[in-house]
């Protein structure tokens, strides 16, 4: 007992090599190499930090003062009719129902579709509200989107059956091409279907997205003035415009149209940067004009437009409305 009481406590440190081999490795922190590695003729890889005595502290997930606690919503309880809506879909296979439930009811699925977590609930509400009336039309696009998100979340790249995903994408494209757009509600549906398709094609295939964007934007263009007061209802429009403008900037094509959304609106996919899309649209138009404009007068006018765009972008800053801080926790 006396020997135990007078025994000096040793600082427990270990180099990486001893740690991987589950070997004890005691030394003072100032030493350049441990006794075991020196005895075996090995080179210490690194000095591991000193492990503090006692049990590890368990950090509780408490509420930080001044912040709001946002609890994830369980859609299975909030929306008991989801299963009923899916059961009413004709020819819905069990694996397809599982994919649709994964897309709608899992909060982490929405991380790929919205910019910030505060709009996950709104995105889920939109998906659920579209199920009863137009679910047969959007079914294939939703399933392809769910397969793509599962593939993005998986660490293995061989989890998704590419041929099956492409088959759903092809059927959704056929539904998009045959969709009659006669009202502003049809225009919102067209952009929704095109946006989900563009996300799936861009993530799974990577080719053909600009064609989908151009088709949707040109088809819904006559209804944009009617949709402008309720721009938040057409949540996929900005996404389609962004993808098309990016392609036009690369290949020097003329975009279908620009987007008109108030600068104070926080877009569900682009955040506060939506006003910049108009400048990118103008740059794409100027780049396309330079391909077939040999006249020096026109070139001079285009140069002046570029200078104006440069000055506007340099002075641009995001809108900071009074409600902005209330919508975000940090």
> Residues 10, 4: contact at Cβ < 8 Å?
no
Query: How far is the C-alpha of 215 from the C-alpha of 194, rounded, in Å?
Result: 9
What is the DSSP secondary-structure string of 213-231? HHHHHHHHGGGHHHHGGGG
CA 327 to chain centroid: 19
Q: Which of 201-210, 216-225, 226-235, 305-314 has the highest mean pLDDT?
A: 305-314
The segment with the largest mean pLDDT, out of 6-10, 205-209, 279-283, is 279-283
Rounded distance between C-alpha atoms, residue 165 and residue 146, angstroms: 10
- Distance CA(180)–CA(190), nearest Å, equals 9
Dihedral over alpha carbons 79, 83, 89, 95 (to 10 degrees): 120
Secondary structure of residue 271 in the 3-state scheme: strand
The pLDDT assigned to 137 comes to 79
Domain ranges across the chain: 11-47, 75-318
Burial of 267 (0-12, 13-18, 19+ CB in 10 A): buried
Task: Region of 310 please: left (phi>0), alpha (psi -120 to 50) or beta.
Answer: alpha
Closest by CA to 101, choosing from 90, 91, 113, 109, is 109
The pLDDT of residue 67 is above 90: no
141 closest CA partner among 190, 70, 72: 190
C-alpha 168/C-alpha 125 separation (Å) is: 23
Portion of the chain with pLDDT greater than 70, in percent: 59
Question: For residue 289, what are its two tokens?
Answer: 């004009």
Whether pLDDT at 278 is above 70: yes
User: At a CB cut-off of 8 Å and minimum separation 6, what does 31 contact?
Assistant: none
pTM flag (> 0.85): no
d(CA 86, CA 136): 10
- Structure token pair of residue 190: 């067209």
Which pair of structure tokens corresponds to residue 33? 């190499």
The alpha carbon of 40 is separated from its chain's Cα centroid by a whole number of angstroms, namely 52
Q: What is the pLDDT of residues 89-147, one digit of tens each?
A: 777 888 988 888 888 877 777 777 776 555 566 666 666 666 665 567 788 999 999 99
Highest mean pLDDT among 45-59, 108-122, 141-155, 174-188: 174-188
CA-to-CA distance for 142 and 86, rounded, in angstroms? 12
């Amino acid at each position: 007992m006396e020997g135990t009481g007078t025994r000096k406590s040793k600082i427990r440190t270990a180099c990486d090599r001893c740690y991987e081999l589950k070997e004890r490795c005691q030394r003072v922190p100032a030493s350049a190499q441990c006794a075991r590695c020196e005895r075996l003729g090995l080179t210490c890889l690194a000095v591991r930090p000193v492990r503090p005595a006692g049990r590890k502290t368990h950090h509780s997930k408490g509420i930080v003062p001044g912040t709001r606690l946002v609890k994830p919503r369980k859609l299975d309880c909030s929306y008991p009719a989801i299963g009923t809506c899916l059961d009413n879909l004709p020819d819905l296979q069990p694996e397809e129902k599982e994919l649709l439930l994964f897309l709608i009811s899992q909060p982490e699925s929405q991380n790929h579709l919205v910019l910030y977590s505060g709009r996950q609930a709104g995105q889920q509400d939109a998906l659920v509200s579209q199920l009863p009336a137009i679910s047969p039309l959007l079914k294939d696009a939703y399933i392809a989107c769910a397969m793509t998100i599962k593939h993005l979340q998986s660490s293995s790249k061989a989890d998704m059956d590419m041929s099956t995903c492409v088959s759903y994408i092809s059927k959704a494209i056929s539904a998009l091409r045959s969709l009659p757009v006669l009202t502003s509600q049809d225009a919102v549906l067209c952009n929704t279907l095109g946006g989900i398709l563009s996300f799936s094609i861009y993530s799974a295939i990577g080719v053909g997205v600009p064609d989908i964007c151009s088709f949707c934007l040109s088809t819904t263009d006559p209804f944009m003035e009617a949709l402008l007061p309720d721009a938040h209802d057409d949540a996929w429009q900005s996404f389609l415009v962004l993808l098309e403008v990016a392609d036009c900037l690369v290949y020097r094509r003329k975009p279908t149209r620009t987007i008109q959304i108030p600068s104070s609106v926080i877009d569900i996919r682009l955040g506060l940067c939506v006003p910049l899309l108009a400048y990118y649209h103008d740059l794409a138009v100027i780049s396309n004009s330079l391909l077939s404009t040999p006249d020096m007068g026109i070139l001079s006018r285009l140069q002046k437009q570029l200078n104006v765009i440069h000055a506007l972008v340099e002075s641009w800053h995001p809108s900071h409305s009074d409600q902005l801080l209330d919508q975000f926790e940090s």
